[in-house]
A and B are shown apart, each in its own frame.
Chain A
């Protein structure tokens, strides 16, 4: 009998305790972040925070085409070609003041493949490739190419392959031509040198 009354009392009391808790929660400030209107702060590398690993971006004025990013990438989402700089004919420099060794006529990152590991950013010698805080991108097309420098930077409707080339087709052709000419010139100089050398040697022998 005593247990019976005790259990009734306990049941009532625990309900009241629960009701007290829910009532207190009724007046607590809510924790919802109304996402598209409000956003959770993303660590962006400032104020001592680490950088969030979201979409990559590449500064072509810093990229020297060393291909380390492409080699470091575990999912092979970075593809690039390089074109040697015709040294002597032109003397381009990077944004950080170093001499540019190569032009990059094609540089594509496929964000449909990218796994945001950040290995490419850690191996980049000039910090050209970096993470951004942008994470809201999706596309109905996987393979369409967006040109980072010539299209709207947020034009994800075209696809998730990003091209980071800041040279136009004509400029690339021009660079190729200059390089080919330079190489031809060099080859000619070399040939001339090889022709000249034996002559010199034979001259020496005869003397």
Chain B
């Protein structure tokens, strides 16, 4: 564990270090969430030829801060008819599910909070905790819209989780590891060594590239559904369900849901980057590579994926529930099986 974590190397293996390691992603998350909210506001505005927030700070850069302060000041309302323990617990469970995944995200060659061997599996396991929180919140709010949102969320979970898991499984096959750091190390070198482009290998790997690209696409689509973002924001479709499962939430608890959504966006982007886009590896071989550059590349690639998510959000309309089911079960699942089959074949032949 020591060689994968510079903090343990520096400060020794004690309680304070462990606390620091677990707090570091949270600090990153807060800064990232502010940036992502600003990015969402500004990119959506620019895509619609508006200017977005302009009054808070220089060109509105302090807008996310103002929004957070506003949310903290809001009254915290618990409906009379709500099941109070479940209602109050739900946002924290959703956030815990999102934050737990940060435990295995390799930010750099020398910083991964916990270098466990089951990294990818662990992310998929804790990634589903969020859905439990959503169902809890939707059910406990005692409101038909929240309940519908929660039910849709679960229906959606089953549809996208399997193709997403198949895509990740192919990566486990390609890298013969579930450890996030090992997967990253397997993709060292130029960008054509990324698993997106079939992983390291000679010209023989050319025929497998379409399949790995397809898997990248499948994971991208599945991850959009996992974060409840447009075009898969069925659980919180504003025009149909008021605000979906968090209709009854206000103030800090709503902020928690909001925060969890952005944390989840980063988690799926990080998994996509780690599994398919080389993680902290520089795209240009040994050029600009190193522990700090690694963090730069990792966060930079993740932010690019988040940009694509935002981009898609302002491009596509929301899918209907049955359209999502069709996409999940009839397109993503068979295609991911085929891709998985050929990737395994490729692995066997090599």
Listed in ascending order, the chain A residues whose CB lies under 8 Å from chain B are: 8, 12, 15, 18-19, 21-23, 25-26, 28-32, 34
**Is A30 a contact of B46 with CB atoms below 8 Å?**
yes
B65 within 8 A of A: no
Stretch from B167-175, B266-274, B312-320 forming part of the interface with A = B312-320
A-B contact pairs, 17 of them (CB 8 A): A8-B335, A12-B217, A15-B315, A18-B316, A19-B311, A19-B315, A22-B47, A22-B311, A22-B314, A22-B315, A25-B46, A25-B47, A25-B48, A30-B50, A31-B50, A32-B51, A34-B54
Question: Shortest beta-carbon distance, A26 to chain B, in Å?
Answer: 5
The listed residue (B49, B217, B311, B331) touching A28 by CB distance below 8 A is B49
Given contacts A8-B331, A19-B311, A28-B49, 10 further A-B contacts (CB under 8 A): A12-B217, A21-B315, A22-B47, A22-B311, A22-B314, A25-B46, A26-B43, A26-B46, A30-B50, A31-B49
The residues of A that contact B49 with a CB separation of less than 8 Å are 25, 28-32
Give B contacts to A, CB under 8 Å: 43, 45-51, 54, 217, 311-312, 314-316, 331, 335
Q: Is the CB of B312 within 8 A of A19?
A: yes
A23-B51 contact, Cβ under 8 Å, with A18-B316, A30-B46: no
CA distance A31 to B51 in the complex (A): 8
Most buried by A among B47, B51, B54: B47
Verify B50–A32 contact, CB threshold 8 A: yes
Complex Cα distance, B312 from A114, in Å, reads 49
The distance from the CB of A21 to the nearest CB of chain B, in whole angstroms, is: 8
Which residues of chain A have C-beta atoms less than 8 A from B43's C-beta?
26
Q: List residues of chain B with CB within 8 A of the CB of A22.
A: 47, 311, 314-315
CA of A8 to CA of B334, assembled, Å: 12
Of all chain B residues, the one with the shortest Cβ separation from A14 is B316
Bound complex: CA A29 to CA B51 (Å): 9
Q: How far apart are the CA atoms of A28 and B47 in the complex, in Å?
A: 8
Of all chain B residues, which has the CB nearest A23? B311
The 4 closest A-B pairs by CB, nearest first: A22-B315, A18-B315, A32-B51, A30-B49
Residues on B with C-beta less than 8 A from A18 are 315-316
Residues of B contacting A19 in the complex (Cβ-Cβ under 8 angstroms): 311-312, 315
